[in-house]
């Protein structure tokens, strides 16, 4: 029988973290490297991509491990998939960790702001799942992990478009799991609680931050590295019968809802 610890290894797996240059994606990328995976990341800002390349010990590497792509365009996702496969190997594990938000009352949200959030948080997830999912189905193996949110479980004042995208990501996660299970492809989500990153550090007021800590069962926000265990687990053989699930990593935030 395989030693149980081996079942959490990602040795030999090629992983791609879209948004792997950001706060949570970076932690997952470094965690996957520690679990033995080949780690590739994608984002837009070259300076952030250079930083994660450095941290992965692959600065200036040929082929690169960090790819510039604006994944709001399905054509950019198709190009990314073809490029990483040509440079490295087919992607075994895809993590959709891209995202953005704007905090303001729903009535004040402009069409351009709505489109930005929907395209970044939902359209990109849809087409990344289908582009990489198609390739995984052909190979009869693969794992996709979508980064969802607490906002996929209830309403969230001043974050209407963001909230709508995260509910939708749950629907996509479960639907793709249903369609692709027979092809050996698992699709799951992680719903993080509050973690201070570029996404929210300057967007949340000090009062809102204090409230987020107070309402959490553990009375604090999470640290990005506290997502690594869940991300490794869902990607690994230890989760081989887990699909369509959302794993909350929120310090008991939703559990203490009333
Ligand atoms: N932080 C939290 O408390 C929290 C809680 C729940 C869920 N989440 C979710 O976790 C995910 C990561 O968030 P984070 O906190 O790590 O935010 P972050 O630090 O702002 O990182 C966002 C990442 O997404 C990338 N990205 C954004 N738009 C992109 C685009 N059009 N094309 C390609 N890449 C793009 C960014 O790279 P570039 O800027 O270079 O494009 C960056 O790497 C998001 O889906 C977010 O909704 C976060």
- Residue 68's nearest CA partner among 93, 30, 98 is 98
Ligand 1 atom index nearest CA of 45: 40
In-domain check, residue 256 = no
Give ∠ CA 28-29-33 in degrees, rounded to 5.
Answer: 115
What's the predicted TM-score (pTM) here? 0.98
How many separate domains does the chain show?
A: 1
Ligand 1 atom index nearest CA of 96: 45
253 is catalytic: no
**pLDDT tens digits for 202-233?**
989 999 999 999 999 999 999 999 999 999 99
In-domain check, residue 134 = yes
Task: Give the pLDDT score at 4.
Answer: 80
Per-residue pLDDT at 1 exceeds 70: no
Pocket test for ligand 1, best of 73, 99, 147 (most atoms within 8 A of CB): 99
CATH code for the domain in which residue 67 is found: 3.40.50.720
Task: Give the pLDDT score at 184.
Answer: 98
In-domain check, residue 258 = no
Decide which of 204 and 109 is more confident: 109
In-domain check, residue 257 = no
16 lines ligand 1 (CB under 6 A): no
Averaged confidence pLDDT in the chain: 96
Q: Distance between CA atoms of 10 and 12, rounded to whole angstroms? A: 6
In-domain check, residue 176 = yes
Per-residue pLDDT at 2 exceeds 70: no
Query: What tokens were used for 56?
Result: 């992965």
In-domain check, residue 76 = yes
192 lines ligand 1 (CB under 6 A): yes
Q: What is the average pLDDT across 43-59?
A: 97
**pLDDT tens digits for 141-162?**
999 999 999 999 999 999 999 9
97 lines ligand 1 (CB under 6 A): yes
Residue 44 lies in domain: 4-251
Per-residue pLDDT at 5 exceeds 70: yes
In-domain check, residue 30 = yes
- 135 contact partners, CB below 8 Å, separation of at least 6: 81, 85, 90, 91, 142
48 lines ligand 1 (CB under 6 A): yes
In-domain check, residue 178 = yes
């Amino acid at each position: 029988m395989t030693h149980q610890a081996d079942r959490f290894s990602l040795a030999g797996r090629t992983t791609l973290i879209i948004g792997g240059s950001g706060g949570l994606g970076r932690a997952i990328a470094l965690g996957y490297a520690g679990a033995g995976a080949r780690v590739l990341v994608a984002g837009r800002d070259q300076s952030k991509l250079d930083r994660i390349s450095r941290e992965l010990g692959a600065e200036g590497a040929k082929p690169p491990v960090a790819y510039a792509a604006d994944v709001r365009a399905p054509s950019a996702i198709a190009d990314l998939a073809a490029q990483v496969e040509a440079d490295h190997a087919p992607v075994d594990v895809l993590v959709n960790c891209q995202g953005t938000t704007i905090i303001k009352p729903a009535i004040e949200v402009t069409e351009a702001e709505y489109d930005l959030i929907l395209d970044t948080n939902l359209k990109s997830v849809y087409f990344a799942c289908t582009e990489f999912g198609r390739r995984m189905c052909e190979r009869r193996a693969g794992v996709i992990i979508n980064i969802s949110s607490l906002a996929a479980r209830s309403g969230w004042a001043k974050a209407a478009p963001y909230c709508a995208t995260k509910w939708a990501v749950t629907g996509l996660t479960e639907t793709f799991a249903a369609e692709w299970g027979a092809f050996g492809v698992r699709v799951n989500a992680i719903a993080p609680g509050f973690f201070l990153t570029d996404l929210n550090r300057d967007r949340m007021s000090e009062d809102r931050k204090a409230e987020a800590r107070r309402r959490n069962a553990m009375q604090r926000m999470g640290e990005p590295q506290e997502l690594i265990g869940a991300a490794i687990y869902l990607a690994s053989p230890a989760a081989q019968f887990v699909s369509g699930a959302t794993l909350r990593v929120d310090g008991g935030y939703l559990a203490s809802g009333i």
